[in-house]
Amino acid sequence: MRAESIVFALAGVLFGLITGWVLGSQQAGPVSRSAAPPVAAAPAQTSAPQATAAPAVLDQSKVQSLRAVAEQNPKDAEPRVQLGNLFFDAERYSDAITWYEAALTLTPRDANVSTDLGVAYYYTSQPDRAIQQFQHSLSLDPRHTKTLLNLGIVKAFGKQDLDGAAEAWKQVIALAPDTPEGQAARRALQGLQKAHPGGGTSGNG
């Protein structure tokens, strides 16, 4: 995971999405590793929405090169992570999952890769599995704010668990209030409270 990989490109995007979101009518997606903002609102369901921006063009020559490196180095997680990243950026999430899972087999305590895997699970319509993967990331690093930010997004829009989302975002704010993640979490809470006043999400820490 690149340092900026899961941070919002625009901290206000989630605020705008949640402000206009009516429970049961729209949903948004988690922050991707490529720093893209959440996807556009779509009809609510547990399946993941489609991204609105054009995906990155998959560099097949780079894929082939990394595959060769991976085959030559069966105990090296890095080429597998890079392959996962390439497929993720190209929105080929099932392929990304394959490589992230392979990388985690070799480096099971890598919270960054674990979280990228969780986001990929969400984009393949597996919100429960995404949450489970985020919980694994947090078991490795309870202060992993990028994981907590995404956990809130998936709980809010994948599970319609507003209280759970608010709890995750409050943790982000408490841990890192001045970071891009903290700013995004604060805006998310503000939007949630505006869209659902009195819904058990009052207070933003």
Give residue-wise pLDDT tens across range 3-37. Answer: 333 333 333 445 445 444 333 323 445 665 633 33
The DSSP symbol for 182 reads: H
Distance from C-alpha of 205 to C-alpha of 202, rounded to nearest angstrom? 9
14 neighbors 191 (Cβ within 8 angstroms): yes
19: CB partners within 8 A, 6+ apart: 190, 191, 194, 195
* 147 Ramachandran zone, left/alpha/beta (phi>0; psi -120 to 50): alpha
Confidence of residue 201 (pLDDT cuts 50, 70, 90): low
**Among 16-30, 114-128, 147-161, 178-192, which stretch is predicted with the lowest mean pLDDT?**
16-30
Sign of CA dihedral 38, 199, 196, 179: negative
pLDDT mean over 141-164:
93
Q: Which residues pair with 199 in a beta bridge?
A: none
151 neighbors 188 (Cβ within 8 angstroms): no
Q: Would you identify the CATH topology of the domain 12-44+77-195?
A: 1.25.40
Domain segments of the chain as ranges = 12-44+77-195
Rg (CA), the chain: 17
The predicted model scores a pTM of: 0.78
